[in-house]
Structure 1
Amino acid sequence: MWVYVKDLKKHIGKEVELRGWVWRSRSSGKIAFVNLRDGTGIVQVVVEASSVSPEVFKNTKMLRLESSLIVRGKVKEEPRAPGGIEIFASEVEPIQIPKDDFPIQKPDHSIDYLMEHRHLWIRSRRQVHILNIRDAVLKAIRKFYWERGFVQVDTPIFTGAIGEAAGNLFELDYFDYGKVYLAQTGQLYLEAACMALGKVYNLGPTFRAEKSKTRRHLIEFWMNEAEVAYYEHDDNLKLQEDLVSYIVKYVIENAGEHLKALGRDITKLEKVEAPFPRITYTEAVKFLQKKGYDIEWGKDFGGDEETEIAKQFEKPVFVTHYPRKAKAFYMQPDPDNPEVVLCDDLLAPEGYGEIIGASQRIHDYDLLLERLKEFNLPVEAYDWYLDLRKFGTVPHSGFGLGVERTIAWIAGLEHIREAIPFARTLYRVYP
């Protein structure tokens, strides 16, 4: 019976079949030990010369790191073994034994070398733990929306409309149509969808042609966006803090062993519960100025400023009401002060920066048209977007959560490149 390592404790005393790869192996006289990994865990396989055929024992001693193999044997309890169990093999069937040494064996490989061999690096225990945490984050996002009656809407990758700054777009020739862009965001399309379905979200790749080399930036990254009809600013804040709290709790409960294996301090994550603290942009500027930062009202925050603000709190913190001219064209002005908009950035603690950008959207046709012209955007490309304000317009709000930044924060990673299976950074598109 083929079973996975994670399920072996259910089969103690039984004969099982395992399929995997050699993590480590050693032999001494008439006994060999093979640590087998299968993606769900690692187990020690004991191969005794007296219990198997000479050919099987010979094949076992020939195994090298990352050899693929099938093992058949009995599951036995062994407190001294990893996981408290061992396999006493009756058969070892090599599928492939590499001719060359596995390229990743040394503890001191450079990051460039590891990234160049990312297709093999992801087999390492640390990377397996990280990718399991990523899986838990994605499951939590979908589960959160499913439990709350949201509808998933898949938004396009090719778009003719600019959602954010035009300077950060990848431009492509689209047959005879002309220029199109790789999507920076699916927000505009979710706005259309929420007018049909009420509560919607997406989850998929987005692209920013931003020449940044910081530990927080990727060129291709995944984003979860949500949009809700009739939601205003405060409703939007509540949805964001509920989502982030839910994700963190889900990961602790369902991938806690992976967090611990990375050495993550889970006690810090356990404090992440709604409500989150809130400060205005204006309050944040005053705070930073007192801390000696050279920042003027009207300028956006950089990574250092975000870190300084966030380290005052144990939970993520909302920074709200940014200056109108520092944010995107579609954001709703504050009725009490039209120079700021009803928006927020959610900053993660521990120096991980912005994980969510959000706003209430402009729902008035004339005001949106005025903003498009102010930002020098081609009005004809937004005819369909303006239509949403001509037929049944309502206040609505939404946000975008950066999946990799969220993973990096939850897992305690030093660099965002480990938060995605194959990172696309400023100088890397291989493998």
Structure 2
Amino acid sequence: MSRDAPNDIETTMTNHVRIADFAANLGQTVTIRGWLYNARSSGKLLFLEIRDGSGIVQGIVSKNAVSEEVWNRAAALTQESSIIVTGMPREHPKRPGVYELDVHDLTIVQLTQDYPITPKEHGIEFLMDHRHLWLRSKRQHAILRVRHEVVRAVRDFLDNDGFILADTPILTPAACEGTTTLFELDYFDDGKAYLTQSGQLYNEATAAAFGKVYCFGPTFRAEKSKTRRHLTEFWMVEPEVAYATLEDMMVLAERFLSFIVARVLERRREELKLLERDTSKLEAIAAPFPRLPYDEAVRMLHEAHLAGKLEHDFVWGGDFGAPDETYLAQQFDRPVIVHRYPAQVKAFYMEEDPERPELALCMDVLAPEGYGEIIGGGQRMQSYDRLAQRIAEHNLPREAFEWYLDLRRYGTVPHAGFGMGIERCVAWLCGLEHVRETIPFPRMLYRLRP
């Protein structure tokens, strides 16, 4: 039998049903198009696990109910062979809400040979090398469906809260977060350009035009980090609000995260169940979140060190590492907002605390269960003179930021915003050990393929 599809196979979208829509088609003859996920036999019965992207259904082929030709085709199927199957869906007699398909006919589009990911244990490097195929597994389907729900929830929340989507450039002329983590490239005759670290600076311009805006897209950090929390390319959503303060962002962040968690619990419980996620921990997530000043966080870390709970003693003035964030988050049953970090460890554009200028009006939202920072943001510097001074102090090219200074020349107001990494949020909600499974094709320090 040829491995290639015959020319006369029907490939249009008409008269075909998705597995996800079986409940509306019980007792009717339907045709599905998909792939063989797995198969087993029991005498004169073949049990085919068929997937079509919308779900997986067990197709039952009875030798006494189909032609010899159809039986032989079904018996010859191999893992991930592409097939078109006609039959009648019915509800499982002992499992309400679960459906099966009594198979009447079956056409092989391609009979696959030597599919590399077999039903056995494979090492993570092997699976990452075959990521283009690993995406077909039940686990990866569950994770990426949760990701899809997170993205939908993000857009629904912001769109319904009066925000305007105003996407920002991926190619930028200067750094936003720091010059050491930039991906650099030649930009025609204009010199160097960089892949964006954040859309935030441009968000400030659109917020001055529209009041409440957000951008949502890929961002890039050339960090030589191999931790379970880092990707070099990831997706970030960044709301920005004119006439807003740090306190406004804390309230927005807790409303935002609470909405996302509730939506995922409402619509993706089956996926979380497949991932063996303890949903009771997610059900505790509700606003308001604890507010923890940086000074208090440092005190907690110091006491934890003295009690032998942390190996290192944290010194005031530094930024938190993964062990510090994990310890702090473990003290609460929901995300905790750490605020007012030392200005020296935050970006040049952060507004200073008027009561303590050595502190920035900034915040990080730390997820529970050791997942670290999932939101970072704060209030932006309002003063033209002070921002110009900060640009000089950070040795940034003044000419690249003239447009940004214009926002303080013409109608400056208090304004604030934050960014949330989609992948870290998904890793937390799914209870994953590493962020590499939260995006279809992860980019990491030593991984650029497939």
TM-score bin, normalised by smaller chain: over 0.9
Match of 2:150 in 1: 137
User: Is residue 111 from structure 1 mapped to residue 124 from structure 2 by the alignment?
Assistant: yes
> TM-score scaled to structure 2, two decimals?
0.94
> TM-score scaled to structure 1, two decimals?
0.98
Match of 1:4 in 2: 18
Alpha-carbon distance between aligned partners in 2 of 1:246 and 1:52, rounded to the nearest angstrom: 50
From 76, 84, 93, the equivalent of 1:62 is: 76
From 34, 42, 60, the equivalent of 2:56 is: 42
Contact 1:21 1:69 in 2 (8 A): yes
User: Is residue 124 from structure 1 mapped to residue 137 from structure 2 by the alignment?
Assistant: yes
Q: Which amino acid aligns with 1:169?
A: L
Alignment of 1:302-313 (within 5 A): 302-313=321-332
Alignment of 1:362-401 (within 5 A): 362-401=381-420
Alignment of 1:26-425 (within 5 A): 26-80=40-94, 84-98=98-112, 100-292=113-305, 293-425=312-444
SS at match of 1:339: coil
Over 3 Å counting, the alpha-carbon distance change for 1:13 and 1:106 in structure 2 is closer
SS at match of 2:126: helix
Q: Which stretch shifts more, 156-165 or 39-48?
A: 39-48
Alpha-carbon distance between aligned partners in 2 of 1:40 and 1:364, rounded to the nearest angstrom: 52
Contact 2:91 2:97 in 1 (8 A): no
Contact 1:408 1:415 in 2 (8 A): yes
Alpha-carbon distance between aligned partners in 2 of 1:42 and 1:81, rounded to the nearest angstrom: 15
Q: Which stretch shifts more, 116-125 or 28-37?
A: 28-37
Aligned CA-pair RMSD: 1.2
Contact 2:89 2:99 in 1 (8 A): yes
Contact 2:207 2:242 in 1 (8 A): yes
* 1:107 positional shift: 3.0
Q: Which stretch shifts more, 24-33 or 196-205?
A: 24-33
Contact 1:43 1:83 in 2 (8 A): no
* 1:374 positional shift: 0.8
Contact 1:44 1:81 in 2 (8 A): no
% identical equivalent positions: 53
SS at match of 1:358: strand
Contact 2:343 2:358 in 1 (8 A): yes
Q: Which amino acid aligns with 1:92?
A: L
Alpha-carbon distance between aligned partners in 2 of 1:357 and 1:213, rounded to the nearest angstrom: 21
Alignment of 1:15-34 (within 5 A): 15-34=29-48
